[in-house]
Amino acid sequence: MGTSINSAALGALTVLRGVNKDLEKAQEQSSSALRVETAADDPSYWSMATTMRADSSSLSTIGDAMGLGQSKVDTASTAMDSIVKTLSSIQNILVSAQEAGADRTALNQTLQQLKGTLQTTSQSASVAGENWLYNSDQQPDLTKSVISGFARGTGGQVYLQSVNYDGSQALMIDTADPSRGLLTKNIDANTIQSDGTSTPRNYYLLPVGTGSAQTAGTEISLSSTTTTQQLSDMQDVVAKLLASATSADSTMGVMQSRLDQQSTFISDLTDSLKTTIGSLVDTNQEEISARITALTTAQQMGVQSLSIANTMASKVLILLQAN
């Protein structure tokens, strides 16, 4: 009889211990919001979630780097847009100068102001100490590269991906070597409209000193002594500058669009990773709340069962002693 009585109490205690253990685990999952917190909880899901977290962290870092790269491209593109508009205005000034009775001296004042705008725009297009439109270094790095994403190798390695831009297209002013800058280099008008000779007719738009690279040319400006031929040459040169600047701006716009698409993709991919990680390891709070309620009820019932078993054992012992 004693063995039977002890077995009932031990059975109730064993059940209660199991309920208490399950309740403790459920409460931990609820408080930590993680269903799989360590490898011991679920090695497979934990491993996949850990890899995805690493990818998500890499994407976050790459997103920051892309943000800086986008700022550089956006700044350069905005400056190029302004330069294209300013060159178009300069072209209009030169056309107006052809009209009979035009005050070329007054028009030149406006022309010089527009050239000053080109100078200021180019110099101010700087982000993080890098300016794609203005250079003063003897040996500039004309290969511009910005991070655009990453790829994971078969061995788990992470490789950064980047997009490149030929910086020589965007270089507007070069004080170290004027021949590298679109707005500072000499352009031979004779190669645009030949006069039948091989004699060059060089013109440049913005002066950057007295270097030999510009002394062979004539600065684009207006005066009362400007000849019809010079005016025609200036128009041709500015038209070529405008076409080159427009082409560079268009190429930069393509790069800008690509970076925007990559940025959106990385943002979407990051969100997708977070959702997947959540489905693998996060706690379903509604489900765990219901489980905690059920386990709490079971715990209370277990305590009552153990209490009843103990009470019944005491009563039986009293009866046996009485006999």
What tens digit of pLDDT does each residue of 58-78 get? 778 788 888 888 899 999 999
Ranges of H-type helices in the chain? 2-32, 43-97, 104-124, 167-170, 212-215, 228-281, 285-322
Given this model, what pLDDT does residue 147 score? 83
d(CA 250, CA 262): 19
Type of residue numbered 297 = T
CATH of domain 56-282: 1.20.1330.10
Residue 150 has a pLDDT of: 72
pLDDT, residue 1, reads 45
**Residue partners of 201: CB distance under 8 A and separation at least 6:** 188, 189, 190, 195, 233
Considering the chain, what percentage of its residues have pLDDT values greater than 90? 38
Sorting pLDDT into bands at 50, 70 and 90, what band is 323? low
pLDDT value for 272: 84
Kindly report the average pLDDT of the chain as a whole number: 82
Confidence band for 126, pLDDT divided at 50, 70 and 90: very high
Q: What is the 3-state secondary structure (H, E, C) of 164-192?
A: EEEHHHHCCEECCCHHHCCCCCCEEHHHC
Q: What percent of the chain has pLDDT over 70?
A: 76
For position 151, what pLDDT does the model report?
74
Task: Report the pLDDT averaged over residues 31-40.
Answer: 65
Count other C-beta atoms under 10 Å from residue 292's C-beta: 16
Model confidence pLDDT, tens digit, residues 273-313:
888 877 776 665 666 666 667 767 766 776 776 677 667 65
Determine how β-strand 202-204 pairs with β-strand 134-135.
Answer: unpaired
State yes or no: pLDDT of 219 exceeds 80.
yes
Q: Are 243 and 126 in contact (CB under 8 A)?
A: no
**Is the backbone of residue 89 left (phi > 0), alpha (psi -120 to 50) or beta?**
alpha
- pLDDT by residue (tens digit) across 165-200? 888 999 999 999 999 999 999 999 999 999 888 899
